[in-house]
Structure 1
């Protein structure tokens, strides 16, 4: 499966323009034989922990627009939106197939409390897992990368690829690579982090989009500019590494909660 990571600047609080930009790059990725394209966290509006405007339902025009783009370009899309819920919106990532069908949805579980996101958004409670071709794929968002148990939960479900849309600022960019590699090596799956680039009213972003293999090595990475990053994900490599170096089997032998 050829995965494309769209390292792009958001269209700040202009989701209509964001959809136009998404369409342009989805078509380009499809023409270059990509099967699936992933966009950064809250790409259509820009990530803002204080702003809940443009919150919409899964049946709304923004998700509908992404579904139309997937069908038109003939490519799977990983997008995100501010999802309406009972009291506060959720920061939600969505996987859409090339036929426009919704494959999975994941709402950010670990909200970025240093920026106040937890004051304005509601945390998710469920994993987001789907099969794309033969590859079992999971979703997480940005700050989630710091929380190893979430990725363990995905490993427990047999996930082979994690896709992580992000708005990871320049001031902490070294940690995006660090945690992407760490989660990949720890749980022996591919981890693809697609990051924002350029200045926004919230912070400055310098890209650093990267894909780590199940051995923890970086397989592809972006620069500090807008660009599309491609990599051919081969889930058989995950199976091989897990079989030949069975870390997880040995991990499961210990009841850590019983340790004193």
Structure 2
């Protein structure tokens, strides 16, 4: 499977401009799965009442472009619902099937936990024979929630992870791949946001041994996921059989 991630320089609080930017930059690109950053339609913004989708604008955009390209699209957006706000990661298939995951670990350092409501469910999506665990940015720091119980093949992380802490982002992505014997694709944004935080290009895809398998061309990051190669690696290095048994109760 070919995955293509867009290192998007997100326009602050402007959905229309971001939708146009995405369409333009992906116009001549092909893949089975496209990744967009965390809060791809607005930037990582705490003004939830102002920027959150009230009428599923970001979701409708994903459905439209997914159908046009006959490919799945995945990224997160701020969403309003049931009197709450959520940082919601959508996985949209070309037949318009939608699976979503609400970010579990909210970034208290920025006050995200005071504005958005955390998700509770761990979400795995199967697409074209590959099982994907959906995760958003700060989730990366919490390995227990992402522990592989032989129930997924790859983790997708979408993020707004600033340059100041980018070393942690890159080291933890590789660690998650190694400890879970999985592909890990981490897509970060680029540019400067409305809070004057800078984001350097730092998107990566790692194989289960920690080797980088992504290629970069401008703002595009691509990787080929070979499920047979992963199965052979797991059969040879069956470390998951020795993992600790536990249950997340909250």
Superposition TM-score, scaled by structure 2 size: 0.92
**Contact preservation (8 Å) 2:48, 2:85:** no
What displacement does 1:256 show? 7.9
Alpha-carbon distance change, 87 to 221 in structure 1, aligned in 2, over 3 angstroms: farther
Gap regions ≥5 residues in structure 2: none
Residue 110 (structure 1) aligned with residue 105 (structure 2): yes
Counterpart of 2:222 in 1: which secondary structure? strand
What displacement does 1:53 show? 2.1
Residue 249 (structure 1) aligned with residue 241 (structure 2): yes
CA distance in 1, matches of 2:200, 2:32: 26
What displacement does 1:101 show? 2.5
What displacement does 1:222 show? 4.9
CA distance in 2, matches of 1:65, 1:248: 38
CA distance in 1, matches of 2:89, 2:150: 19
Alpha-carbon distance change, 18 to 144 in structure 1, aligned in 2, over 3 angstroms: same
* Structure 1 partner of 2:202: 208
> What are the within-5 Å matches in structure 2 for residues 67-82 of structure 1?
67-82=63-78
CA distance in 2, matches of 1:236, 1:19: 35
> What are the within-5 Å matches in structure 2 for residues 106-185 of structure 1?
106-152=101-147, 155-156=148-149, 158-185=151-178
CA distance in 1, matches of 2:131, 2:173: 18
Gap regions ≥5 residues in structure 1: none
Superposition TM-score, scaled by structure 1 size: 0.88
What displacement does 1:150 show? 1.3
CA offset digits 1:195-248 (Å, max 9, x no partner)? 01011122111020000111112222659xx61111111122222222111111
Counterpart of 2:205 in 1: which secondary structure? strand
Question: Size of the alignment, in residue pairs?
Answer: 246
**CA-atom RMSD in angstroms:** 1.9
What displacement does 1:62 show? 2.4
